[in-house]
């Protein structure tokens, strides 16, 4: 074994001492025992660092305005013309517009959250995430925050343009409850997205196919372009399992209050409680699954995929 020169060993020891002193310890092992404040600050930096590319990318890639706003607006317009050709009540025009606006968040959850860890694995970044001294939840939260900014802009643009063009009139009596339901819908959706991210990582190549499968069926059972109560028992199942269906139905009841066309679903107060329960359940499941995956990656050197 080659001996380490005395001067190099001294420099290494000095650097270790400086690092340990800067961390409040006397040696590297002691310095590695971070306080809760240091852990929180490190995870916050990880969150900001992962959200920054998505927010900055909106400015550097103007083409997203066409693909993320104009194309969804065309889909919304198609259903508006169908309802007007059938001489449906004007409330249904508002249902379509609100559904088209909120669909941006579901697409963000499916494409930018659920499949993200699998894509990071394909690009060779996932091993770096597991090796770094941070919680993987902070990475997923950073993805959620960055995607939330883009989705919010798309939803606001679709809502404003559709409202101006088609003359949708909103009737809101409980603004505080509307804001609460909207926030609970987002937290439940992104909690579901973090849970799906772990599942998609385990499923491997099937993640892309499952992502495609989840889009249109969820749109249908959630009542994207019509009241979910019209689906009967299937609509009740969607209310019990899909935060997108619950949040969309509650928002419609609140922003189109007094309309007689919304029947067969719980009142918005009950749906707000359902969303709160979904938020807790999905977040806890996501945390448990991510912890298991981190253990497999760091202690066994595997991502729990049978062929690795």
Residue 97 has pLDDT above 80, yes or no: yes
**97 in Cβ contact with 166 (< 8 Å):** yes
- Is the pLDDT reported for residue 304 higher than 50? no
CA angle 220, 254, 74 (to 5 degrees): 45
DSSP state of 89: -
- Tell me the pLDDT tens digit for each residue of 24-49: 555 566 666 777 788 888 888 888 88
Asked whether the predicted pLDDT for residue 306 surpasses 60, the reply is no
pLDDT for 280:
94
State mean pLDDT over 141-155.
81
* Secondary structure tally for the chain: helices H, strands E: 14, 0
DSSP type of residue 228: G
246 neighbors 235 (Cβ within 8 angstroms):
no
Q: Tell me, what's the pLDDT at 15? A: 57
- Angle formed by the axes of helices 36-60 and 136-166, nearest 10°: 40
**Higher-scoring residue by pLDDT: 11, 238:** 238
255 neighbors 171 (Cβ within 8 angstroms): yes
Of 50-54, 64-68, 85-89, 199-203, least confident by mean pLDDT is 64-68
Q: Which phi and psi (to 5°) does residue 167 adopt?
A: 65, 40
Lowest mean pLDDT among 63-67, 71-75, 236-240: 63-67
Q: What is the mean pLDDT of the chain?
A: 78
pLDDT of residue 260: 65
> Is the pLDDT at 308 greater than 90, yes or no?
no
């Amino acid at each position: 074994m080659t001996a380490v020169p005395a001067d190099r060993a001294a420099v290494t020891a000095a650097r270790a001492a400086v690092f340990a002193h800067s961390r409040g310890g006397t040696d590297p092992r002691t310095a590695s025992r971070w306080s809760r404040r240091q852990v929180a600050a490190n995870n916050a930096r990880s969150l900001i660092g992962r959200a920054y590319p998505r927010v900055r990318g909106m400015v550097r890639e103007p083409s997203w305005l066409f693909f993320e706003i104009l194309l969804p607006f065309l889909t919304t317009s198609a259903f508006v013309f169908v309802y007007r050709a059938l001489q449906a009540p004007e409330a249904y025009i508002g249902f379509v517009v609100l559904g088209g606006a909120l669909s941006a968040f579901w697409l963000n959850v499916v494409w930018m959250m659920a499949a993200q860890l699998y894509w990071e694995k394909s690009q060779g970044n996932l091993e770096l995430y597991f090796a770094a001294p941070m919680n993987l939840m902070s990475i997923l939260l950073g993805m959620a925050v960055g995607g939330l900014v883009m989705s919010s802009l798309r939803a606001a643009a679709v809502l404003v343009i559709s409202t101006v063009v088609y003359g949708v009139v909103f009737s809101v009596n409980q603004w505080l409850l509307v804001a609460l339901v909207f926030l609970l819908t987002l937290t439940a959706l992104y909690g579901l997205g973090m849970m799906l991210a772990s599942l998609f990582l385990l499923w491997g190549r099937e993640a892309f196919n499952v992502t495609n499968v989840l889009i249109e069926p969820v749109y249908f059972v959630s009542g994207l372009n019509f009241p979910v109560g019209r689906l009967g028992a299937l609509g009740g199942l969607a209310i019990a399992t899909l935060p997108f269906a619950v949040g969309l139905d509650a928002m419609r009841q609140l922003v189109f209050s007094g309309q007689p066309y919304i029947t067969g679903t719980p009142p918005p107060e009950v749906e707000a409680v359902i969303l709160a329960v979904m938020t807790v359940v999905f977040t806890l499941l996501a945390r448990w699954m991510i912890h298991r995956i981190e253990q497999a990656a760091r202690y066994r050197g595997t991502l729990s995929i049978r062929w690795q």
